[in-house]
Amino acid sequence: MRRVRGYINPGVGFDEYAESCGYVQIGCADDEFSQLTKLRSTPHKHLRQVLPGETTPLVSPVQMMMGRECNYSGKGRFSISDSCHVLSRYLPVHSTPSVVDRMTSCAYVSQFSDDGSLFVAGFQESHIKIYDVDRGWKIHKDIHARSLRWTITDTSLSPDRRFLVYSSISPVVHIVDVRSGTKQSHANVTEIHEGLEFSSNVDDYENYSFGIFSVKFSTDGREIVAASSDDAIYVYDLEARKLSLRIPAHRADVNSVCFADESGNIIYSGSDDRLCKVWDRRCLATKGQAAGVLMGHLEGITFIDTRGDGRYFISNGKDQSIKLWDIRKMSSNVNYVPRRRYSEWDYRWMEYPEQARNLKLPDDLSIATYKGHTVLRTLIRCYFSPAYSTGQRYIYTGSTDSCIYVYDVLSGDQVAKLDYHEDPVRDCNWHPFYPMLVSSSWDGIVARWEFPDNGKTTSPTVPVRMRRRIFY
């Protein structure tokens, strides 16, 4: 594995900054979040009872089955939390992965469909592959992208799995019909890849001054929200085929954006200006500004993922940490400008300074912090584990050190470190129902981790790599 260049001393100003910061505490100390999480993944109290008046938080699957047969819960079946407690014992973290695909260019995107039947992998060399999970991971559609600049930055499947949108460092997001009969989809050769315009400025096309780093479908499939390099958030109306909203959201590149819940009214965004912001579309017409700001990261934010309840979300930061947020604790100071720590450090080719790893911003509003992975060279992504099988008890992330990290969302403890790839793991995704996790790495390999171990050991070969000059 190629190692990143050594860290360059930031110079004068760091010690002074460090004195104004505290030291970060790992794990979640928020009582309400802890209680909600435990309710989702803890078995019924009668199933946990070992002696009269005594309970244990851990119950073996055999005990759970016996308790169900004896109807200890009084329901005659497992509740959702009971099921999550059993399924969380079978995490895809103890196996040797199998190789789904191996390409000669960097893999940037991993994404399951909402029902887990399809899986999307996006590669640097204008390539997107959609696999049919239920049919032995056969190629469902092989897409050769249009108007690519540097790489596929993001993809998103519509909720009905009919359309796929993909973005690049370009003002145009393209949309493809996934259900069409054409398996080989070459842009505007075998199939039309319709372009959705996100900028009318000609200079954006000629000078590479505009790119889209994140794109997501709304729950109803009628809109797309996008994060761009011009510091703005865009909402595109697919029925009207035009932009319905542009929000000048941040003071630097917006690297990630998503809808908070099924309503589509609340939007979360994360930026290189080190801020997460919350946007309420119902108030934008009158206020024209964010509903609130969440500060806590010392460096730029690479990705955000919502818990889906309109209240909690997580963000991955270039300060080598994941933070958990409760939007009810957000600040109303929407004009807040984070203090610049120092300008000499660049995450694309420098290691993060050791003396900054445990610092905490004095104004930190996050309710939990998770550390252990590395976020360098590219926009590493993080997620909550599935609600169905784990009750969202874990969070997981790719890492520059070529591993996947899984953390307990309450204690902050590292549950697993999956080590297989040879280059940074930019993205990974957990199947919504099965104990299966798929990772995409810059070594060009898409790997599938499952429980139980299939007993097969596959050694990755080193693919031919393209020369990289810039990183995103």
CA dist., res. 453 & res. 353, Å (int): 38
Report pLDDT for 57: 63
Strands, E, within 202-309: which ranges?
212-217, 223-228, 232-237, 242-248, 254-259, 266-271, 275-280, 292-295, 301-306
Tens digit of each residue's pLDDT (9 = 90 or more) over 11-51: 434 444 554 567 778 889 899 999 999 989 888 676 666 44
Distance of CA 393 to the CA centre of its chain: 16
| Burial (CB count <10 Å: 0-12, 13-18, 19+), residue 167 | buried
More confident residue, 355 or 280: 280
Contact 448, 436 (CB under 8 A): yes
Angle at 403 between CA 398 and CA 409, to 5 degrees: 55
Indicate the pLDDT class of residue 338, thresholds 50, 70 and 90: confident
Report pLDDT for 9: 42
134 to 18, 160, 324, 342: CA distances (angstroms): 52, 16, 33, 50
Read off the pLDDT of each residue in 225-236 and give the average, rounded to a whole number.
Answer: 96
CA dist., res. 240 & res. 251, Å (int): 30
Tens digit of each residue's pLDDT (9 = 90 or more) over 283-319: 886 677 999 999 999 999 999 999 999 999 999 999 9
More confident residue, 10 or 313: 313
- Amino acid identity of residue 68, one-letter, is R
pLDDT of 380 > 80? The answer is yes
Tens digit of each residue's pLDDT (9 = 90 or more) over 417-439: 999 999 999 999 999 999 999 99
pLDDT of 89 > 60? The answer is yes
Report pLDDT for 188: 75
Residues 6+ apart with CB under 8 A from 251: 231, 271, 273, 337
Listed range (146-150, 228-232, 251-255, 262-266) with the worst mean pLDDT: 146-150
More confident residue, 353 or 6: 353
Tens digit of each residue's pLDDT (9 = 90 or more) over 185-213: 988 788 989 999 998 676 666 666 789 99
SS3 content of the chain, % helix, strand, coil (to 5): 15, 35, 50
Residues 6+ apart with CB under 8 A from 333: 293
Listed range (33-47, 62-76, 146-160, 207-221) with the worst mean pLDDT: 62-76
Q: CB 343: neighbour CB atoms within 10 A? A: 9
Residues 6+ apart with CB under 8 A from 65: none
| Structure tokens given for 262 | 């099924």
Residues 6+ apart with CB under 8 A from 259: 216, 218, 219, 225, 266, 267, 268, 306
Q: CB 346: neighbour CB atoms within 10 A? A: 12
Residue with tokens 């400008």: 337
- Mean pLDDT across the chain, nearest whole number? 86
Angle at 381 between CA 375 and CA 385, to 5 degrees: 125
Read off the pLDDT of each residue in 175-188 and give the average, rounded to a whole number.
Answer: 90
Nearest alpha-carbon partner for 251 in 282, 228, 227, 272? 272
Contact 330, 365 (CB under 8 A): yes
More confident residue, 47 or 94: 94
Contact 463, 443 (CB under 8 A): yes
Domain boundaries, the chain: 14-41+94-450
Class of domain 14-41+94-450: mainly beta
* Among 200-209, 341-350, 461-470, the range of highest mean pLDDT: 341-350
Read off the pLDDT of each residue in 236-245 and give the average, rounded to a whole number.
Answer: 95
Indicate the pLDDT class of residue 464, thresholds 50, 70 and 90: very low
The pTM of the full predicted model, rounded to 2 decimals, is: 0.89
